[in-house]
Structures are given as structure tokens and as C-alpha cells.
Chains A and B, each alone.
Chain A
Amino acid sequence: MSSAEISTHHDAAHGEHHGPAKGIRRWLFATNHKDIGTMYLVFSLLMFFTGGFMALIIRTELFSPGLQFVHPEFFNQMTTMHALIMVFGAVMPAFVGLANWMIPMMIGAPDMALPRMNNWSFWILPVAFGILLSTLWMPGGAPASGWTMYPPLVLQTGDAFPFLIFSVHLMGFSSIMGAINIIVTIINMRAPNMTLLAMPMFVWTWLITAYLLIAVMPVLAGAVTMLLTDQFFGTSFFLAAGGGDPVMFQHIFWFFGHPEVYIMILPAFGVVSEIIPTFSRKPLFGHDSMVYAASSIAFLSFIVWAHHMFTVGMPLTGQLFFMFATLLIAVPTGVKVFNWVATMWQGAMTFETPMLFSLGFVFLFTIGGFSGLMLAVVPADIQYHDSYFVVAHFHYVLVPGSIFGIMAATYYWLPKWAGHMYNEKLGRIHFWMSAIFVNVTFFPMHFLGLAGMPRRIPDYSTQFADFNSIASVGAIGFGLSQLLFVYIVFRCVRGDGATATAEVWDNPRGLEWTVPSPAPYHTFEEPPEVTDGKAFS
């Protein structure tokens, strides 16, 4: 009697185990790494367009000298919100989404180690950004002190202030939980015989990134909590009148902030290190040295923070130390670029969209690296600091750096996720439009900065007019190009392209290509046989 029941029960449980729940429950209570990965990616795309829209408001106002469209207060709100949304809402969640989708499939694990925490870490984000965006309608407007939230200026924020702090706390919770999950998954759930050094580069760079996140997000939380108590509870951490030091905030912030920039670029390094070997039909050059280089970058990122603060009035020895340490970062970063070039060398390259974005990444990230090298030279940095030269520099490493990395990853793995190919022709058009417009937007900013235009100003002297107009045209072009990206992804997910094979590309390496396309709801319920771990690295 009971055996039939048990068997039915078992079947039901079995069925539930194999398919997603129906309707909203599938997403609200999601524990499947693929579902959560998808939610992260969609959320990131929404935030990318939200932050991008704000960037276009900025560029529209800056199209010509004089104030035409917004007031200075609102302009400052836009620069602040644009940065917070792009950093915490677009770039970071996109990489966490990619990690969710790909890390279990790349290491032969059935899912992330902590699926319920995974759900929690995602669903905190819409709340955090809902709160942050709601401040736009509060008395006094949204935060306008720059994403760096320097006191005492940030303490002049209106009603939005505590909401800003709370949303930053929430983003920190989300990042820390995501990072713990990724570390636990990578350390504990690799397929048998996959040694650490045999892991694919994307997994490696994410492991390092996750450690960086755990190390620095609490530091940011501490910094903003001190702002909160300075504002509401009578403390004077950063208020000189009470014996505090405003510059101490900058030290704490950038102790978070500098590793943060590597949090945003290391996973992109990983993506590019997966894609270039595939389309060069050649193994990644110097896999192990790439691991060591990424680890060195991560370590050095903790001892260079004050290069963001060369004008605050530091002792000479401090400035010298931070200059030398910063210059040193060029060495492991150079190793990465040289290794990518060596990977292409004597390969048999083809130029599908993921490869194009990866090549664009290597070219343009390197240009951002060059301006980074220039910024490390303290006397010159005193001229560059807080000018448009800096704006050009970090947009070169973030847009054709991080964002191109995300785009490359999306095109590379989209057929695996959707089971169909995207439209290659449109993909290439998307690449060329993005690559051209990104340069039209950000290259002139180098000149503006060198000529003396400070950042974060709503209006400028007429001598800066020409390059600002060019940059604005580029920005609008870049924004419109991204609509094409949405169209391409939408068409692919809807199933308009050719059916994708399991391998998708020409003999790519990695466990993710051993499962069918689209990847079944559950993969690697039995760990795969990894006889030669190196085969996947």
C-alpha cells in the first residue's frame, strides 16, 4: 500500500526537482543558480539603462556652454546617481549574474553552495535600488555629493541622506552574501580532480574578486555608518569642529574604493581569458602566471588607495609610497595584456562578436591603463586630479573594460543559456557601433582634462565647448547602440536564431560546453569525470 504512495510521492518530488516552479514563484523563491543568474543579469540591464539615461541627461546639459536643461543641484544629483547605479547596480550585479550562471557549470557543480542565501542576496538589490531611486522625489532631492560621499558635503544632503546610507548598507549585504556563496561554491564543489590551479580563469578571477568583496564591503559599511552617526547621533568622526578629520573618510572610502575598481575589472579579465583562447583556437598563454598576476593585482589593490587623494595634503613619504606602489600595479596588469596577445599569437583567429568585444576590451582597457600609469606620477596627477582626464581614464577602464567584458560574456554564453544563436551580423554591428561611440565619447575627455576642465561641473568655459559637443554626440550614439543589444538578446532568447549545439563554438574548452544547449534546468547532478583538469583551463 505504501509503496505506491511512496513512489508517487517520490515522482512528485522528482518532478519538482527537475522543472522550475510556475509563475512568479519561480522567481520570487528562486534557488536555482540559472534562474538567479538570469534575474541578476536582467536587473543589471535595467540599471544599465537607468544609469545610462542619467548619463545622457548629463551629456545633454554639457552639449554646449550655458545652462539649458537642468539646474546645478539636479546636475549633481545625476552625476552621483549615475555613478552609484552603474557601479553597484549595473556592473557588479552583471558579474554576479555571470558567476551564478557559469561558475557551477564551469566547475561541474549542481548549483551554488548556498542557494537560499543566493535568493536573498539577489532580492535585496531591487529593494536597495528602489530606495536609492526613490530619493529623487524626496525634499532636497537625491544625493548630490558624488558617489564618493565625501563629508562634510554629503552631510548637506536633504531627506535622502539616511536612505542613501541604508541603500549602501543593503548593497553591501548583497555583495557580501554573493561573495561568500561564490567562495564556498568554488572551494567545496569543484568536480573531483579539478585542482585549484586547473580552474578556468573566469572562476579564478571571481574567486579573487569574492575575497576582495568580503574584505572591503564591510569597510564601506563602516564608513557610511560613521557618516550616519555624525549626522544624527552627535559623533564627530569626520567633523573637524568636534575633533574629527574629513580626510579620514577619504582614506577609509578609498581603502574600499580601490579594491572596488578591481572588483569591477577582474571578472572581465576572466571573461576575456576564456574567450580569446576559444577564438584563437589555442590554449590560454601562461594560465598559472595569469592567476598569480590577478592575485598580485588584488594584493596591491590594498596598498594604493591614497593615489586617489594626492591633493589632500599628505606627508611627502606617504605620497612617494603610494606613487611607487601604484606604478607597481602596471607590472601584473601588463603581464595580463601580454599574455592575451601571446594567446592570439600564431592562433587561427575568427572574429565572432564575443571575440570582437574581447579584442576591443584589450585595446581600450590598455589605453585606460596608460592613462592610469600617467595618473600614478604624482606631480602630473596634481594637474590631472579631479579633471576630465580622470573621467576619461576611469570610463576607459569601466566602459570598454568592464562593460565590454560583460557584453563579450553575454554573446559568448548566450547560446548556451538560450539554446539558440544570436544574430551574428547584428552582434558585429552592435560591437562596431559601441566601439566607435565609446571612443567618440571618452577620448575627447582626455583633452578637456588636460586643458583644465574640472569634473562634476554643469557648465563650462567656452574654450571647452568643441570637445564637450563631440563627447555628447558620442554618448547619445553609445546609448542608442545599446538598444540594439537588447533587441539582439530578446530575439535570441525568443528562439529566432539557429539551434545551438552543445559546443556552440569551434571546439571550446570548459565543462560548460559538455552540457546541452540550452543548459538543462539542473546540470551536473552527478559530478563530471575530470581526468585531465588542465584540459579546461
Chain B
Amino acid sequence: MIQKLCLSALAILFASSAGAEWELNMPRGVTELSAETYNLHMQVFYWCCAIAVVVFGAMIYSLVKHRKAAGAKPANFSHSMTAEMIWTIIPIIILMIMAVPSAETLIKLEDGRKPDLTVVVTGYQWKWHYEYLGEDVAYYSSLARTSVDARRKNSGIDPNTVENYLLDVDNPLVVPVGAKVRVLITSNDVIHAWWVPDLAIKKDAVPGFMNETWFRAELTGVYRGQCAELCGKDHGYMPVVVEVVEPTAFQNWLDSSRPEN
């Protein structure tokens, strides 16, 4: 029963990987590294499934065949050097197979050199502040008004009627498609974390320290995420919205956002 339940649940997850549905599985995302991350995730997941088939298979076989009710007589063996060597060495090999591509992707993730654009993200209780380094553009990004109204306790507004409930902001971060965007992250008060699943980025905003990460979005669109580190009462209400636009549109937006305009 229990194994059936788990297996069917695993099967759902497995089936979903084909369609890469947002609701069930990690998004493939819109950067080269988010796709690599997704592939790593699926690779390790398939290894886990394979190991599960072997281990749970042996266990279920034993549960069926080696029951007292089925007339089984207990054997009396209590160790086998060969078996123990096998199930020590094979997992080590599997782990090495997992570790190599993970390390490769990780090394790429950490290589933030030669950015096209640098944005400084500062966490506040409970909103984000974005500053385009050297561009004289800076602004706060807070939860959108529609969500603010609906989120109050017993507000009487059905969240289902609010577009992008809790995942919308007044001023999103705007970046050009195809550009390498370096994100410098810090905080003004407590620790926050800036997370956009589609960009496969999550980095802590630590007061007094500057963290660095980067992404290069390959598709235009609006990508939504949330603060991922508990930061107080409104932790659930500081979404991250990144709008990826064409370079010309970005330049126009940047020009119109400068204070002199």
C-alpha cells in the first residue's frame, strides 16, 4: 500500500518531467545555467529512481516471498564481505558520476566576470531596492497594490481574482535579453534572499556584505520569484519580478527612468 502510494507519486513526478510543467517540477528556466541545473536535478532524480527500483524491489520481493505466512524458513547468515563491498563501491561510483557535472555547472555559476550590466540589489524589510550601477537609475520594488489589498487577514478579496497574487510588484527589475547581468546583493537590515526560479538564481542578501551572482536570460518575458530567507513578519510579501526585454526597449526604459526625465 505504502509503496504503491510512493511509487505512484514518484510516477506523477516522472511523467511531469516530459511536459516540464511548472506546477510539478523545477522549471527549465530561461538561462543556459538554469537548463543545466534542471538537467542535473533530473539526472540525480533518475539515479534515485534507479536506486529505488533496486532497493525497494529487493525489499518488496523479500516482503512477499520471505514471509512466515508464506511458509518461509529463516536462513541464518549474518554477513557477506562480497555483498558489503559491492554496496559500498557501487554507490561511490554513482556519486562520482553525479559529482563531476555538478562541479562543472557550479564553476560556471561562480564565474561572474565581464558583465554587460551590473545591478545592486538591496533587501529591506520588506521590499527590494534596485540600483543600476553607473546608470543613475535606482528605485524600490514593493508588493503590488492589488496584492497588498487582498493579503490582509479576512480582506474579503478572493486571491484567485487577483492577477499574480503575491507575485507582482509595482516596479520590476528590467534587464535586456541576452546580456550578462551581474547581480550584487546586500541588505539594509536582516538577511533576505533573492530568488528567481526561472533564472536559477538564489543568493542571500546579508547586511554588511556584498554577494555576487549573475544570469543571462535568453528569452524575453516576466519572471517571478520571492524572498527565500525568513526576514520577519512580511517575509511572504516581498516578491521579486524580473522583466526581460529587447535591448532597444531596455535602453529606452533606462533613459526614461533617469531622474532628469
Contact = CB atoms under 8 A, between A and B. Distances in A.
A385 B202 contact: yes
Given A312-B206, A335-B87, A338-B87, A66 B159 contact: yes
Contacts of B41: 374, 377, 380, 383
Contacts of B67: 348-351
A245 B207 CA distance: 9
B128 interface: no
Interface residues of A, number: 99
A349 B59 contact: no
Given A156-B190, A461-B165, A344 B228 contact: no
A454 B193 CA distance: 10
A284 B26 CA distance: 40
B229 A386 contact: yes
Contact of B74 (A66, A281, A458): A281
Determine the interface band of chain B, counting residues with CB < 8 A from chain A.
35 or more
A247 B103 contact: no
Given A152-B191, A432-B1, A65 B159 contact: yes
Given A240-B208, A377-B41, A461-B166, A370 B51 contact: yes
Contacts of A450: 24-26
A362 B197 CA distance: 32
B113 interface: no
A447 interface: yes
A334 B232 CA distance: 39
Given A331-B88, A341-B58, A379-B37, A71 B66 contact: no
B9 to A, nearest CB: 5
A17 to B, nearest CB: 40
Interface in A347-379: 347-351, 359-360, 362-364, 366-367, 370, 373-374, 377-379
B208 A241 contact: yes
A533 interface: no
Contact of A73 (B166, B207, B226, B233): B233
Contacts of B230: 76, 145-146, 150, 153, 455-456
Interface stretch (B133-141, B150-158, B174-182, B245-253): B150-158
A24 interface: no
Given A313-B211, A436-B5, A379 B40 contact: yes
A435 interface: yes
B127 interface: no
B207 to A, nearest CB: 5
Contacts of A245: 208-209
A455 B226 CA distance: 10
A285 interface: yes
Nearest to B105: A379
A515 interface: no
B52 A366 contact: yes
Given A348-B67, A383-B26, A76 B103 contact: no
Contacts, number: 313
Contact of B233 (A144, A284, A348, A465): A144
Contacts of A316: 106-107, 110
B55 A374 contact: no
Interface stretch (A253-261, A317-325, A408-416): A317-325
B191 A386 contact: no
A210 to B, nearest CB: 26
A153 B91 CA distance: 40
Interface string B205-227: 01111011000000000000111
A447 B24 contact: yes
Contacts of B1: 432, 435-436
B105 to A, nearest CB: 4
A287 B33 CA distance: 45
Contact of B98 (A351, A377, A435): A377
Contacts of A443: 6, 9
Nearest to A282: B74
A373 B44 contact: yes
Of residues B63, B160, B229, B231, which shows the largest number of chain A Cβ atoms within 10 Å of its Cβ?
Answer: B229
Given A67-B151, A286-B79, A347-B66, A320 B103 contact: yes
B79 A289 contact: yes
Given A311-B202, A362-B59, A363-B3, A285 B98 contact: no
B202 A382 contact: yes
Contact of B228 (A338, A363, A386): A386
B103 A153 contact: no
A524 interface: no
Contacts of B261: none
Contacts of B260: none
A346 interface: yes
A68 B156 CA distance: 10
A380 B234 contact: no
A457 B211 CA distance: 24
A46 interface: no
A263 B106 CA distance: 31
A373 B99 CA distance: 11
A452 interface: yes
B23 A460 contact: no
Contacts of B152: 67
Nearest to A71: B153
A328 interface: yes
A280 B74 CA distance: 7
Contacts of A436: 1-2, 5
A330 B226 CA distance: 31
A181 interface: no
A462 interface: yes
Interface string A416-459: 00000000000000001001100100010011001110111111
Given A153-B191, A313-B206, A350-B69, A462 B75 contact: no
Contacts of B44: 373-374, 377, 380
B74 A156 contact: no
A67 B153 contact: yes
Given A311-B203, A454-B226, A341 B208 contact: no
Contacts of A458: 236
A323 B110 CA distance: 15
Nearest to B64: A349
14 contacts: A72-B236, A152-B207, A245-B208, A246-B191, A247-B204, A324-B99, A331-B91, A347-B66, A348-B66, A374-B41, A386-B228, A439-B5, A450-B24, A455-B230
Interface of A: 65-68, 70-73, 76, 144-146, 150, 152-153, 156, 239-241, 245-247, 280-289, 311-313, 316, 319-320, 323-324, 327-328, 330-331, 334-335, 337-339, 341-342, 344-351, 359-360, 362-364, 366-367, 370, 373-374, 377-380, 382-383, 385-387, 432, 435-436, 439, 443, 446-447, 450-452, 454-463, 465
Given A71-B233, A72-B234, A459-B151, 13 more contacts: A246-B207, A282-B78, A289-B84, A316-B107, A345-B66, A348-B72, A378-B106, A386-B229, A447-B25, A454-B195, A457-B226, A459-B166, A465-B160
Closest CB pairs A-B (n = 3): A240-B208, A457-B236, A313-B211
